[in-house]
Amino acid sequence: MTITEQVLQLPRKEKLKIMETLWIDLSPAKGFETPEWHGQVLKETQAKFDSGEIKALDWEEAKRRLKDEKN
């Protein structure tokens, strides 16, 4: 049985513990550096938001739009 299959059989609480452990292990504190372009994209998005060019979406609306784009 693969590790993926083993994890999928675990209770939700255990899956969440594994996910948290992986997140901590892969976090910037462990040497991962965010690419410079991420910061630029965030600045551009913030500027568009501040100017009213784009607006924040309700989480349910955002999920619906992403699902629609996928189809």
Could you state, in order of their start, the residue ranges of all structural domains in the chain?
3-70
Helix (H, G, I), strand (E, B) or coil at 16: helix
- What pTM did the predictor assign? 0.48
Q: Look at residue 3 and tell me whether its pLDDT is greater than 80.
A: yes
Look at residue 70 in the predicted model and tell me its pLDDT: 83
Task: Provide CB contacts within 8 A for 10, sequence distance 6+.
Answer: 18
CA atoms of 46 and 69, how far apart (whole Å): 23
Q: Look at residue 71 and tell me whether its pLDDT is greater than 90.
A: no
Look at residue 33 in the predicted model and tell me its pLDDT: 79
In tens, the pLDDT along 10-69 reads 999 999 999 999 988 887 766 767 889 999 999 999 999 999 999 999 999 999 999 999
Which alpha helices (H) appear in the chain, and where do they start and end? Answer: 3-8, 12-26, 36-51, 59-70
CA atoms of 47 and 7, how far apart (whole Å): 42
